[in-house]
Amino acid sequence: MDKLLQNHKHEKKTTKRIDMKMRSRIRVIIWKQWKVPRKQIKSLIQLGIPEEEAKGLTFCRKDYRYIGLSIVVQRAISNNRLKQRGLPSALEHYLKVHTVM
């Protein structure tokens, strides 16, 4: 039984990590779709980010991975927004399937 419980914890942790990476990658894809800095700033402002923070992130010259992991983009394109747009959570699905009631 302990081995089964340990395996479940490991799978849950792995699913959570995969879910985090997937959402980060989707944020990068959305960022790339905005293409030009003017569109990036406008879109961030529409999502509730102050103009100065939007400009700072847009002109920071970091790579896409950094952008996807930044707090500003995570606030703008939050997990709740992704869920509203139809992106299911891998962790929620795992828990739904593997939880015994």
Q: Is the pTM of this model over 0.85?
A: no
DSSP 59: T
pLDDT by residue (tens digit) across 37-70?
999 999 999 999 999 999 999 999 889 999 989 9
d(CA 39, CA 9) in angstroms, rounded, equals 42
pLDDT by residue (tens digit) across 24-40?
999 999 999 999 999 99
